[in-house]
Amino acid sequence: MSGRGGGRSHVGSGEGTPDECNSLDVVTPLNSPNPAVVKTLKKGTVLTVAVQTGPNNVKSLVADASDGRVAGSLTPPSLLTIIACIEKGHNYGATVLDDPSGGIVRVRIQPKA
């Protein structure tokens, strides 16, 4: 897979190896953003990346604001790897890259220090 743009596009193994989990760095848009949460976001805000289990045990990746509200969902190419890493105990933050405009929010997912 080739392409240019912000951030790495590495998909990962989907298994969440220690190297993948510790070096993860992905830029992705916030999908289905919650307008009530988005209006509180600013460049540099760090959201918590979490796994959410829905009906039929389908897992998705979401970005939670500090008050616990879901800001939106995340669907980076490395989705399965990130879910596997979180389930192995790794923690990630999604840093807002620009002041949100028109409901568009880009975030960078990286391990939390």
Domain annotation for the chain: domains and CATH numbers: 18-111 (3.30.70.2330)
Q: Which helix (H) or strand (E) holds 73?
A: strand 70-74
**Do 30 and 62 meet the contact criterion of CB atoms below 8 Å apart?**
no
Calculate mean pLDDT across residues 68-78.
96
What is the value of pTM for the model shown?
A: 0.84
Q: Is the pLDDT of residue 6 over 50?
A: no
Helix (H, G, I), strand (E, B) or coil at 74: strand
CA distance 77 to 53: 19
Calculate mean pLDDT across residues 60-64.
97
pLDDT at 37: 95
